[in-house]
Amino acid sequence: KEVGEAFELGIRTVIVFPKVPEEQKSIGGEESCNPEGLVPKVIRAIKEAHPEVNVWTDIALDPYSSAGHDGVVVNGEIVNDLTLAALAAQALSHAKAGADMVAPSDMMDGRIGFIRRVLDDYGFTNVGIVAYTAKYASSFYGPFRDALDSAPNTTDSTIPKDKKTYQMDPANATEALVELDLDEDEGADFLLVKPGLPYLDIVRMLKDNSSVPIAVYHVSGEYAMLKAACANGWLDEREVVLETMLCFKRAGASAILTYYAKDIAKWLSETKR
């Protein structure tokens, strides 16, 4: 239904995030690569109903992890290399289901190259990769994590209480350039910045230093702030949202991931009349 409504409004790209039941979660996130799991089923359904729609999928373990982390947790640590194999298996299951682009949001070292090699080895050379190049350890993700129940498990003292060991320090801008070089060299087709509005300088930095298109994620906390302010009558929702999107474009974004997509499409169609 959501994709059909978006398609009618002229939106041709969607991204899929899963919310899975607690009983399907495990410390290794094995459900993430189930070919009959939620995301592969959704991909196939979208492609059957709307074959023209470009389907992106999130690649990470946190929705499937009983620890709530993007990587495999062993003895209280995120194990990078074990995680790479799991992420590649997840990406492969999505490619087999018909995904056009996979978007690793996990921030593990070397995952873009690892996933690219696995996809190529299985013949999915045309499936692209959206690299979360600059994903910051931000406080703006709260509503999304609540909706997907993907925050770190704080009831177990052996599990890291946050994601700061693998997501980026909000004070560090130059690390984005290091990640840019790595992701480009490993075969990324898009470089993504997350969150969006507080990190416009990072969007511009990547744009100025790469020929790969830049995407930006207008995250749940940013969306919630605008919704709350507009609900209280403090801001004009249409005007402030369109200004926000304009700022993303001005900073250098070629693609914008936003929960306002359908609203924006409606507003823009009204403007053209």
Catalytic residue annotation: 135, 194
- Report how far residue 243's alpha carbon sits from residue 245's, in angstroms, rounded to the nearest whole number: 5
- Report how far residue 139's alpha carbon sits from residue 199's, in angstroms, rounded to the nearest whole number: 13
Residue 235 · residue 229 · CB < 8 Å: yes
Residue 7 · residue 41 · CB < 8 Å: no
- Report how far residue 91's alpha carbon sits from residue 40's, in angstroms, rounded to the nearest whole number: 10
Which two tokens mark 246?
A: 């304009």
Which two tokens mark 185?
A: 């060299």
Residue 11 · residue 262 · CB < 8 Å: yes
Tokens 């790469």 -> residue:
210
For residues 114, 115, 121, 126, the Cα torsion angle rounded to the nearest 10 degrees is -140
How far is C-alpha 72 from the geometric centre of its chain's CA atoms?
18
